[in-house]
C-alpha cells in the first residue's frame, strides 16, 4: 500500500517555471490526495507501462498515466504536478529512452522506487542509418540518447519478462498482496506467451519479410519473427527523412517487391503516404501501441492481434 508521505523534494526549476510557482505549490498537495486508502500508488509513463501495471496490479493498485490518452508519448512535457506524482508514487513504471522528461523525473525523484522495462530485457542497438538524411524540426526533443532502441514492448516475449518482474516489485512494495501480484503476473505472462505463439505461427511462412514502417518502432518485433524493418523516420517519429532518403526508400521498396507502407494512428501519415504513392504501393496502419485514444475499447492485446492481421496479407503469409 502507499508508503508514508514525506515532504516533497525540490521540483526542477524548469517545471516550476512552466507551470507557475503558485500552481506548482498548490498541485503538490493534491498530487497524492486522490489515491484511495490501502492502494499502492503506481505512476506509469505511457500506455504500455500502464497496461501492464493495471493488469498485474489489479484492484490492489491505483495507476496514474503521465501521457494523456491519444497523445504521442515522445513529445511529453511534465507539469509540476506530474513531477510531484512521480515523487510520491510507491512505484514508477517506465521505459528509459522513450520520454526524456520522465527519465529525468525518475532520476531526480524516484530512485529505488522505479521499474525500467528496458533494463529487464536484452536490448537492440538503435537502427543504423545516415543521420544526414534525417531532418529534425525545431523544438523536437526526440528520444533520450540511451544507446539502444527503447521500443521493447513490441516483442510479446520481452513484455512477458517485464510482467513477471513487475509482479515481484509490487509484491515487495506491498507484501500484504504479494501472492495476488505474482499470480496476476503469471497470468499476464501466459497471455503474452500466447500472443507470441500466434505471431510465430502467423508469420512463419510469408512470401516477403520486409516491413516499411512510419518510424523505427518495430525493431524488436522484426527481430523476434524474422522480419526486416525499413523505416521512413528514425526511432523518433518527429524526425522526417530528407528528400535523398525518400528517393532511396522509393527505390528500395520497388526493388524489394514490398506491397505496403505502414502508417500509424498517433503521428501524421503525410510523409509515409507520399512515399507509398511514389512507390506505387498501398498503405495500412501498423500500430506501435504507444497510446490508446480516449473511449477506445482497444488494449495492448487487441492492438497487437490486429497488427498481426494487418501484417499477414501485406507479407503474403499462408
The predicted-structure confidence for 53-64, as pLDDT tens digits, reads as follows 999 999 999 999
Q: What is the pLDDT of residues 290-316, one digit of tens each?
A: 999 999 999 999 999 999 999 999 999
The grid coordinates of residue 39 equal: 492502494
The grid coordinates of residue 3 equal: 508508503
What's this model's pTM, rounded to 2 decimal places?
0.87
Select the CATH number that applies to the domain covering 13-195 from these four: 3.40.50.11810, 1.10.10.10, 3.40.50.300, 3.40.50.1980. 3.40.50.1980
CA distances from 251 to 109, 218, 279 (A): 48, 21, 8
The grid coordinates of residue 154 equal: 513490441
CA distances from 269 to 57, 134, 137, 164, 200 (A): 35, 17, 16, 36, 28
Q: Which residues are paired to 40 by β-bridges?
A: 61
Would you say residue 51 has pLDDT above 80? yes
Instruction: Quote the mean pLDDT of the chain.
Output: 88
Top CATH class, 204-314: alpha beta
Would you say residue 28 has pLDDT above 60? no
Q: What sections of the chain are H helices per DSSP?
A: 13-19, 21-30, 47-57, 80-88, 100-109, 156-173, 178-202, 219-224, 243-256, 270-279, 300-314
Tell me what pLDDT residue 33 has. Answer: 63
The grid coordinates of residue 280 equal: 506505387
Sequence ranges of the chain with CATH classification 3.40.50.1980: 13-195, 204-314
The grid coordinates of residue 285 equal: 496502419
Give the integer Cα–Cα distance in Å for 233 and 64.
30
Q: Which residue has the higher pLDDT, 169 or 5?
A: 169
Amino acid at each position: 500500500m502507499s508508503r508514508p508521505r514525506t515532504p516533497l523534494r525540490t521540483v526542477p526549476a524548469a517545471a516550476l517555471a512552466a507551470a507557475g510557482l503558485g500552481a506548482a505549490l498548490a498541485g503538490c498537495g493534491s498530487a497524492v490526495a486522490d489515491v484511495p486508502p490501502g492502494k499502492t500508488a503506481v505512476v506509469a509513463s505511457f500506455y504500455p507501462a500502464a497496461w501492464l501495471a493495471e493488469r498485474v496490479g489489479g484492484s490492489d493498485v491505483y495507476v496514474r498515466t503521465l501521457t494523456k490518452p491519444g497523445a504521442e508519448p515522445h513529445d511529453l512535457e511534465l507539469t509540476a504536478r506530474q513531477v510531484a506524482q512521480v515523487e510520491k508514487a510507491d512505484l514508477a513504471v517506465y521505459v528509459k529512452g522513450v520520454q526524456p522528461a520522465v527519465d529525468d523525473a525518475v532520476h531526480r525523484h524516484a530512485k529505488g522506487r522505479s521499474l525500467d522495462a528496458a533494463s529487464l530485457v536484452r536490448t537492440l542497438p538503435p537502427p543504423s542509418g545516415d543521420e544526414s538524411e534525417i531532418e529534425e524540426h525545431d523544438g523536437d526533443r526526440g528520444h533520450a540518447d540511451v544507446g539502444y532502441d527503447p521500443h521493447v514492448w513490441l516483442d510479446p516475449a520481452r513484455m512477458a519478462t517485464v510482467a513477471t518482474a513487475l509482479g515481484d516489485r509490487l509484491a515487495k512494495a506491498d507484501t500484504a498482496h504479494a501472492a495476488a501480484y505474482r499470480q496476476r503476473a503469471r497470468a499476464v505472462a501466459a497471455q503474452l506467451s500466447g500472443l507470441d505463439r500466434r505471431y510465430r505461427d502467423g508469420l512463419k511462412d510469408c512470401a516477403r519479410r520486409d516491413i516499411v514502417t512510419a518510424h523505427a518502432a518495430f525493431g524488436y518485433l522484426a527481430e523476434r519473427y524474422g522480419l526486416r524493418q525499413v523505416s521512413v523516420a528514425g526511432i523518433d517519429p518527429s524526425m522526417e527523412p530528407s528528400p535523398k532518403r525518400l528517393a532511396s526508400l522509393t527505390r528500395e521498396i520497388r526493388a524489394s517487391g514490398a506491397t505496403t507502407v505502414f502508417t500509424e494512428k498517433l503521428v501524421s501519415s503525410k510523409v509515409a503516404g507520399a512515399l507509398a504513392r511514389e512507390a506505387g504501393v498501398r498503405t495500412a496502419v501498423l500500430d506501435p501501441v504507444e497510446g490508446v485514444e480516449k473511449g477506445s475499447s482497444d488494449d495492448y492485446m487487441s492492438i497487437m492481434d490486429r497488427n498481426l492481421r494487418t501484417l499477414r496479407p501485406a507479407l503474403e503469409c499462408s
